[in-house]
């Protein structure tokens, strides 16, 4: 949004405006393809002035990433009540909203590339993963540190969610609503595979699934698998 009107902004207000402009551009093209000139022009200020607020493209990129990371982490927050399957389903919907809104920026970030891969960037991505992990443990009623096999299931499922979103972005050939449900069911499936050789995990899973309603994603999966096996 070029403002047209040149008015005096405070430092923090201007920084926030530039971050907003950057995120808006990154949502349609990879950050590598967006120049400081373009950001300056969209913000209605000169290129040197952008450098006054951010010493380089990387620092603006990192600030934009920080805001996006906070936004993403906030979407994992979900009240701890009701069936687990429905909670995860709502979180997945908000996660795919985020991926949809940030498209190319999200893809560039997760795939790495010339403008990313800095220690600050990696630390930020890790902090979002950790926020997702902490939320999952809280929803399962498990204290940190979790048992090793449970930690592995939760963390590897989070990476499955990331990669599924990335593959979805590349062509969007499967409806996202379908993937949102599928990922919730994937969690149950991966947990079941691990629980099949871990009594502690099996007991935890039984407790969680015991509260599932007949129309939830876990029951839906069980019904579908039984019908699949019967054919």
Binding-site size for its own copies (CB under 8 A) equals: 45
Nearer to its own copies, 9 or 181 (CB): 181
Dihedral sign, CA of 120, 153, 157, 217? negative
- Toward its own copies, which CB reaches closer, 49 or 193? 193
Check: CB of residue 129 under 8 Å from CB of residue 137: no
- Over the window 35 to 74, marking each residue x when it contacts its own copies by CB under 8 A and - when it does not, the resulting string is ----------------------------------------
- Closest approach of Cβ 195 to its own copies, in Å? 6
CB 100 to its own copies: min, Å: 17
Instruction: State yes or no: cis peptide before 44, omega within 30 of 0.
Output: no
Contacting its own copies within 144-163 (CB under 8 A): 148-149, 151-152, 155-156, 159-160, 162-163
Q: Between 54 and 168, whose beta carbon lies closer to its own copies?
A: 168
**CB within 8 Å of 124: residues ≥ 6 apart:** 62, 65, 66, 69
Name the minimum Å distance from CB 38 to its own copies: 22
Q: What is the DSSP string of 65-133?
A: HHHHHHHHHHHT---S-S-HHHHHHHHHHHHHHHHHHHHHHHHHHHH--TT---HHHHHHHHHHHHHHH
Is 4 among the residues that bind its own copies (CB under 8 A)?
Answer: no
What percent helix, strand, coil does the chain show, rounded to 5? 75, 0, 25
The token pair that represents 143 in the structure block: 């204290």
Decide if residue 228 touches its own copies (CB under 8 A).
yes
Q: Give yes or no for residue 86 binding its own copies (CB under 8 A).
A: no
Determine the Cα–Cα distance for residues 55 and 76; give it in Å rounded to an integer.
32
Q: What tokens appear for 147 in the block?
A: 């048992």
- Considering the complex, what minimum distance in angstroms separates the CB of residue 42 from its own copies? 27
Residues that bind its own copies (CB under 8 A): 111-114, 116-119, 122, 148-149, 151-152, 155-156, 159-160, 162-164, 167-168, 171, 173-174, 178-179, 182, 185-186, 189-190, 192-197, 202, 206, 221, 224-225, 228, 231
């Amino acid at each position: 949004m070029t403002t047209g009107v040149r008015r005096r902004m405070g430092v923090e207000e201007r920084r926030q405006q530039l971050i907003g402009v950057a995120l808006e551009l990154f949502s349609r093209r990879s950050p590598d393809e967006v120049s400081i000139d373009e950001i300056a022009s969209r913000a209605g200020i000169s290129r040197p002035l952008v450098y006054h607020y951010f010493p380089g493209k990387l620092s603006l990129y990192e600030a934009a990433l920080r805001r996006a990371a906070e936004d993403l982490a906030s979407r994992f927050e979900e009240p701890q009540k009701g069936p687990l399957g429905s909670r995860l389903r709502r979180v997945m919907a908000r996660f795919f909203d985020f991926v949809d809104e940030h498209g190319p920026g999200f893809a560039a970030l997760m795939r790495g590339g010339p403008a990313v891969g800095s220690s600050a960037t990696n630390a930020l991505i890790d902090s979002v993963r950790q926020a997702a992990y902490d939320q999952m443990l809280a929803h399962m009623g498990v204290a940190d540190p979790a048992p090793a096999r449970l930690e592995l299931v939760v963390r590897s499922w989070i990476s499955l969610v990331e990669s599924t979103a990335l593959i979805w972005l590349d062509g969007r050939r499967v409806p996202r609503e379908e993937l949102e449900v599928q990922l919730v069911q994937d969690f149950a499936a991966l947990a079941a595979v691990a629980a099949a050789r871990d009594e502690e995990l099996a007991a935890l899973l039984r407790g969680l699934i015991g509260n599932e309603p007949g129309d939830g994603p876990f029951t839906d999966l069980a019904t579908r698998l039984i019908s699949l096996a019967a054919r």
